[in-house]
Amino acid sequence: MNHQTLPRHIGIIMDGNGRWAQQRGLPRTEGHKAGVEAFERICEYAADLGVPVLTFYAFSTENWVRPPQEVGAIMDLFRRQLNSTERRQAENEQKRWRIRYIGDLREDGAVPADILARLRNMETQSADKDKTVVNIAVNYGGQQEILSAAQRLARLCCEGVLVPEELTLQNIEDGLTTAGQPPPDLIIRPSGELRLSNFLLWQSAYAELWFSNILWPDFAPAHLDQALAAYARRNRRFGSSNARQATP
């Protein structure tokens, strides 16, 4: 892939796990297990290509309304994935991935305390890595993220630190969970759905969107190549009349 057209940041909505399992007569939980395998291979492949930032939508704020048994199984998958990652510590050091978890991860929030503690530990262990930033969105919602950033600014204005009339877009971006990272150039959604589903709403203002009917567990490096090829062919105008290259 030509590095001049390689996205600086790719967001991926990992969708279709349940349908994948149902098509095979399997419990939905098996689809989520297969989805974890897809995450691992795509993350590895994209990082090897040299994509600087990847954001994977793993669990949304809306997903808590799913049947308790399914939610519990997903939380157990998080635990098993963390176990696996911790066992491969030496391998992780060589990859030089910085792992970050974004979303509503308050100590008194919905994410189980044992998982939350291990997510924080994983972030700490990889904080000095410099190859690829891997954001994993857990208990994440784009609208909720914007609301949280607005509440932060409201507090600062009430304290006299900021003046409402002088607020800028950068003030809001500084309060987002992706602060300091480039906005996503490309958002990928498999499974046939044609919407963002509350994913990186602020950050995706000028992102290119690529949709596919492939269910996430079947998503392979070849499909990512298709998305990247489509991205490289697009002229990005960012609201102006002058076309810009795929990557500034």
Low-confidence ranges of the chain (pLDDT < 50): 243-248
218 is catalytic: no
Q: Which of 2, 17, 63, 108 is catalytic?
A: 63
Q: What is the pLDDT of residue 155?
A: 97
Q: In angstroms, what CA-CA distances link 142 with 111, 204, 216?
A: 17, 10, 21
How far apart CA 63 and CA 138 sit, in angstroms, is: 10
Q: What is the pLDDT of residue 85?
A: 83
In a domain, 207, yes or no: yes
Q: What is the pLDDT of residue 91?
A: 78
39 close to 16: Cβ distance less than 8 angstroms: no
In a domain, 136, yes or no: yes
In a domain, 192, yes or no: yes
Note down the domain range covering 27.
9-142+182-232
Per the structure, the count of domains in the chain is: 1
**Within 10 A of 246 (CB to CB), how many other CB atoms are there?**
19
pLDDT digits (tens, 9 = 90+) for 79-90: 998 988 888 877
Q: Please tell me whether residue 45 adopts helix, strand or coil conformation.
A: helix
**Within 10 A of 1 (CB to CB), how many other CB atoms are there?**
15
15 is catalytic: yes
**Above pLDDT 70, what percent of the chain?**
94
In a domain, 177, yes or no: no
Q: What is the pLDDT of residue 30?
A: 96
In a domain, 154, yes or no: no
Q: Which of 15, 17, 139, 185 is catalytic?
A: 15
CATH at 30: 3.40.1180.10
- Residue partners of 10: CB distance under 8 A and separation at least 6: 46, 51, 53, 54, 55, 184, 185, 186, 187, 188
Q: What is the pLDDT of residue 241?
A: 52
In a domain, 121, yes or no: yes
Q: What residue has token string 């990992």? A: 14
